[in-house]
Chains A and B, each alone.
Chain A
Amino acid sequence: MATNILMPALSPTMEEGKLAKWLVKEGDIVKSGTILAEIETDKATMEFEAVDEGKIGKILVAEGSEGVKVNSPIAVLLEEGESADAAPAVKKDIPAAMKDIGDAVKKEVAPKVDAAKAAPAAAPAAKADGGRVFASPLAKRIAADKGIDLSGVSGTGPRGRIVKSDVENAKPGAARPAAAAPASAGGGGIPGVAPLPDARLLYPAGSYEETPHDNMRKAIAKRLTSAKTLIPHYYLTVDCNLDALMAVREKMNAAAPKGKDKVPAYKLSVNDFIMKASAMALMKHPDVNASWTDTAILRHKDADVGVAVALDFGLITPIIFKAQTKGLVEISNEVKTLAGLAKEKKLKPNQYEGGGFSVSNLGMYGIKNFTSIINPPQSCIIAVGAGEERPVVKNGKIEISTVMTVTMSADHRVVDGGTGAKFLQTLKQFIEEPASMLL
């Protein structure tokens, strides 16, 4: 009877892979152990062996095909005397063939171990789909007494069950690790919180266009959901008078040397000043330039300041590393270079991962005031609004000044209110009197 050869799972987590190369062709006789194909996963290329003997009747998936789902048929194996025409009747046999290959993979992955009985060493406590947390009654009771969220605790008991010793070692209010954060955009995954319904259910079909998520959209959804869910945000708002900064900026830009093509060597933006001011203020307030971990706060020695860059297809925050050592022109040019790379999707991870602080500026869109979501592992981000002429009361008189509103989002686990406020005070001072940055 003809059977389907199925795409193998070469690792327990593999969901799909690339059929890199066929090493047999239609009509070839194979026996158990014959290398059929090379399969490429995101991590490695591996050889795929036949489990049964027979003749390759038909190759269903051409070599070079990407995203071939595990357990989907990739070829048809015929028994002696069968013709390739038997292929259409094959579908019924898929489950049997899957089992064979499943067994073969099991042997490959875990020799001699009874895979069905072997418990995972430390399975995540909560299923990604928000399923129930497995914990002993005693562990639940202790967790409730100590105020521990069991969804953030990994179990070491049988089959990953949370037991007494797990909660005894956990800290009250232990945060759910980012890895276990809700994966679905529906917002499920937190026990007791209902996942949001699929929006498609609420609109008539055909009344919308559907754009499948690309990787950046998935990453934004996942990361920002985790950040906003897991980090205790609070917000501080301050107005900054830009009169002095605007004057300095005008002078400096006017003084920029021009090249042969009459293009000035630099053109400083208000944001470049804010980047510089942030770096200087961070050096004065190391408590703000810090990252949370479950066991310690990491205070960063350099002011690595991220700048949110809006893209047509999403958002990314490249980082000006050691911004405290860089001048305005250097910062300005580096921001331009990084933004350019970001737009071409050419940023490398080491250009946007880490950082101690971020600046998000929507002033160019006329936004007066907004709040940002913290960009972990950083603890603070400032949301910068538009510099606009506003009436200002000075010495009992109303005057007109250019004023910009800055709102900082802070992680309360790391930065307490007073600490954040002092930092903003310093930042405001640097922005309002740019010359003080020279001190």
Chain B
Amino acid sequence: MADSYDVIVVGGGPGGYVCAIRCAQLGLKTAVVERDRMGGICLNWGCIPTKALLRSSEIWHLMHRLDEYGFSADNFKFDIEKIVKRSRAVSKQLSDGVSFLMKKHKITVILGEAKLAGKGKLSVTKDSKAIDYTAKNIVLATGARARTMPGLEPDGKLIWTYREAMVPTMFPKSLLVVGSGAIGIEFASFYRTLGAEVTVVEILDRVMPVEDEEISAMAAKAFTKQGMKLKLGTQVTALKKGTDNVTCSLKDKAGKTEDITVDRVILAMGIVGNVENIGLEAAGIKVDRTHIVAGKYGETGVDGVWAIGDLVGGPWLAHKAMHEGVIVAEKIAGVKGVHPLNTANVAGCTYCWPQVASVGMTEAKAKETGRKIKVGKFPFIGNGKAIALGEVEGMIKTVFDATTGELLGAHMIGAEVTELIQGYVIAKTGELTDAELSHTIFPHPTLSEMMHEAVLAADGAALHI
């Protein structure tokens, strides 16, 4: 008989490992099953390594502005191999860090692929050998992978997903990115900044379609200025592979077709949940398309089985998965006063250049609810710190309920906005209104002053414009 646990978490990504740590903190005997490396996609193939890549491209961008800042240098170049090596080292450091955290919290890490095997049972297969474990609670956190479509299948050589795009062995001269969500735009931005000819194809009529329309428009303008080609309202109908290039057939809304030949294609058409081969059907767990239908505390409807992260409903973000991990751990431990996750308070961040970050409702969504709203905006050009940094491109926008002063949404584009958005997230989580935000003293000179001004602007009271 194999070991038995209070909780076994299936998947060592940000949702899974955080859940395991919280379980251990609450005194539960906990194990994590991971088939690859601790940290999941986020640490190994997602959030973290792409941030390392984008840091390199940011430095490259600044090097081209050396003169503006009073430097002169010439003959600088980049080495894609070194850039990738650094990115991998960052991933490894963090993945090792997670393994250390598992040890520190006395969490058993079981390597292999897990499958539900009856009530309170989990079978873990490693090298074709299966071992059964028993657990009072099983938390499924198997994550997600890139969506593919018929005719649009990655081959890992010419047609990439994020996985290959992250570890290029050569630098493509030209690139077609399918999809302008966060993943697609980050790669587009990385490769474009380093000099590749980048074309982004988006089936909807604007880039980053989940963002506020005004932010989308500003992003599109900035990307175009950088030389990125945006094909909006356009789909890829076929990919024809050559020896070292791909010919892409595009069709726009009006029915106009066009062929573009590029070195490489990156598919970023969204994600699908990893619902296969984990025994969901036999256990009677409901799956809607490729995601588990979970309750507000991660319940799957089957006693003792929980689900979190990308495997369940969106937004499919690491920080949302982590929070769900904590919720489920506390529910299992019987902690009182656990609150369900409120997706309206989950921010989204895209680390393209310029960065985009947002939380809550877009202006259009807020209007759709039928309430009276007020909107405040403030541009980077009006902020002292932004001018000193030489980052004058961008804007911060707030959307308030005009009656109650509730902050319904906040939308930002510009330098470092991914670090700023948390201020509005705290305000939303704490249910601060425009009044508290107006009365907050923001430190000068900081980019955060724009957050204050964008609040004041909603009442026509912005001071520096």
Contacts and interface: CB of A to CB of B under 8 A. Distances in A.
Given A112-B28, A138-B406, A145-B403, A121 B435 contact: no
Interface stretch (A158-166, A200-208, A403-411, A423-431): A158-166
A142 interface: yes
B433 A138 contact: yes
A112 B27 contact: yes
Nearest to A139: B431
A114 B432 contact: no
Given A136-B430, A137-B432, A138-B432, A113 B337 contact: no
A80 to B, nearest CB: 32
Contacts, number: 56
Contact of B334 (A113, A141, A156, A164): A113
A119 interface: yes
B294 to A, nearest CB: 21
A113 B337 CA distance: 12
A196 interface: no
B432 A159 contact: no
Contacts of A160: 337
A163 B406 CA distance: 12
B337 A158 contact: yes
Interface string A132-157: 00001111011001000000000011
A113 B338 CA distance: 12
A137 B405 CA distance: 9
Interface in B398-444: 403-406, 430-433, 435-436
Given A137-B432, A164-B431, A142 B336 contact: no
Given A112-B28, A145-B404, A163 B431 contact: yes
Contact of B337 (A110, A121, A141, A163): A121
A157 B339 contact: yes
B271 interface: no
Contact of B336 (A121, A136, A145): A121
A136 B433 CA distance: 9
A171 to B, nearest CB: 17
Nearest to B337: A119
Contacts of B334: 110, 112-113
Interface residues of A, number: 23
Contact of A112 (B26, B406, B436): B26
A364 interface: no
A138 B401 CA distance: 11
A160 B432 CA distance: 17
Secondary structure of the A contact surface, majority rule:
loop
A274 to B, nearest CB: 52
B158 to A, nearest CB: 51
A136 B403 contact: no
Given A137-B435, A157-B339, A158-B337, A113 B406 contact: no
Secondary structure of the B contact surface, majority rule:
loop
A164 B345 CA distance: 14
Given A141-B404, A145-B403, A136 B335 contact: no
A60 to B, nearest CB: 35
B333 interface: yes
Interface residues of B, number: 20
A141 B27 contact: no
B404 A118 contact: no
A307 B335 CA distance: 48
Interface string B322-334: 0000000000011
A159 B431 contact: no
Nearest to A117: B335
B336 A118 contact: yes
Contact of B26 (A114, A137, A164): A114
A120 interface: yes
Contacts of A137: 430-433, 435-436
Contacts of B339: 156-158
B401 to A, nearest CB: 9
B404 A112 contact: no
Contact of B335 (A113, A157, A163, A164): A113
Given A112-B28, A138-B404, 9 more contacts: A112-B27, A114-B25, A118-B337, A136-B432, A137-B433, A138-B432, A138-B433, A142-B404, A158-B337
The 4 closest A-B CB pairs, nearest first, are A136-B431, A119-B337, A138-B431, A112-B27
21 contacts: A110-B334, A112-B28, A112-B334, A113-B333, A113-B335, A113-B336, A117-B335, A118-B337, A120-B336, A121-B337, A136-B432, A137-B432, A138-B432, A138-B433, A139-B431, A141-B435, A158-B337, A158-B339, A160-B337, A163-B431, A164-B406
Interface of B: 25-28, 333-337, 339, 403-406, 430-433, 435-436
Interface of A: 110, 112-114, 117-121, 136-139, 141-142, 145, 156-160, 163-164
